[in-house]
Amino acid sequence: DAGVTQSPTHLIKTRGQQVTLRCSPISGHKSVSWYQQVLGQGPQFIFQYYEKEERGRGNFPDRFSARQFPNYSSELNVNALLLGDSALYLCASSPEGRGRDGYTFGSGTRLTVV
Amino acid sequence: AQKITQTQPGMFVQEKEAVTLDCTYDTSDPSYGLFWYKQPSSGEMIFLIYQGSYDQQNATEGRYSLNFQKARKSANLVISASQLGDSAMYFCAMRAYSSASKIIFGSGTRLSIRP
């Protein structure tokens, strides 16, 4: 079975541009979460979606948005990119995203804003 | 507020030795779960071990064990018989069930195994 897949793996964007990152969860997993990991830090929670509904949102500006599709895949959109948005963006899937569920992470999308 | 603290930015250990990675946490939620993840240079976060706040016994998974001391709010990871492939960043993380949607991560410990 395929793990969590993220695309693209690397991306370079210019300040002010918009970017869309994609994530396909493990088959059967209904919850997808997004995390931002700035170099040298631990991941920071951005969003969690379960059954296409937003279940939680971290402390990120409205420039960040996401959605989940009927097949449980997800997109993360970031508008008006800033240099500080440069980071590794990780997607994690879990069966229901609660309790003892372990999250399975993808390899991430490395975004560089220049 | 919930917080994870990892006080060891980096550690060097001789191959085949055991190593303990420290983690303390803070939460007012009585129900929570603690996780350890390994992040190699490829970037992927690899789940290692889980401990629930009401679990009576310390969690073990192969060479990994979690030394859970609830009163001290610590959840140290012990790796027995370290291997060269254990060299990576290690993150301690927590999910409080009252805010079930998010996992909070510490700042990580970079573990380097010497041959």
Q: Report chain B residues whose CB lies below 8 A from the CB of A46.
A: none
Above 80 in pLDDT, residue A35? yes
Region for residue B30 given its phi and psi (left: phi exceeds 0; alpha: psi -120 to 50; beta: otherwise)? alpha
The percentage of residues in chain A with a pLDDT greater than 70, rounded to a whole number, is 95
For chain B, report the end-to-end CA distance as a whole number of angstroms.
41
- Token pair belonging to A24: 């396909």
Confidence of residue B100 (pLDDT cuts 50, 70, 90): low
- Closest chain B residue to A106, measured at CA: B44
User: Stretch A76-95: mean pLDDT, rounded?
Assistant: 96
Report the residue from B50, B104, B108 with minimal CB separation from A102.
B50
Q: Are B90 and B114 in contact (CB under 8 A)?
A: no
- Cβ distance of A105 and B37 shorter than 8 Å: yes
Q: Report chain B residues whose CB lies below 8 A from the CB of A55.
A: 100-101
Confidence of residue A99 (pLDDT cuts 50, 70, 90): low
Cα separations in angstroms, A113 against A67, A78, A79, A83, B12: 22, 11, 12, 5, 34
- Token pair belonging to B46: 């690899």
Rounded CA gap, B59 and B33, in Å?
12
The pLDDT assigned to A1 comes to 58
Rounded CA gap, A10 and A24, in Å?
16
- Closest chain A residue to B97, measured at CA: A99
For chain B, give the mean pLDDT: 93
Instruction: Name A53's Cβ contacts closer than 8 Å, sequence gap at least 6.
Output: A68
Rounded CA gap, B17 and B73, in Å?
26
- Cβ distance of A107 and B37 shorter than 8 Å: no
Q: How many CB atoms lie within 10 A of CB A26?
A: 18
- Cβ distance of A55 and B101 shorter than 8 Å: yes
Q: How many CB pairs under 8 A join A and B?
A: 65
- Closest chain B residue to A105, measured at CA: B45
Q: Sheet with A74-78: list strands edge to edge.
A: A5-7, A19-24, A74-78, A64-68
pLDDT digits (tens, 9 = 90+) for B39-75: 998 888 999 999 999 998 999 999 999 999 999 999 9
Q: Are B94 and B103 in contact (CB under 8 A)?
A: yes
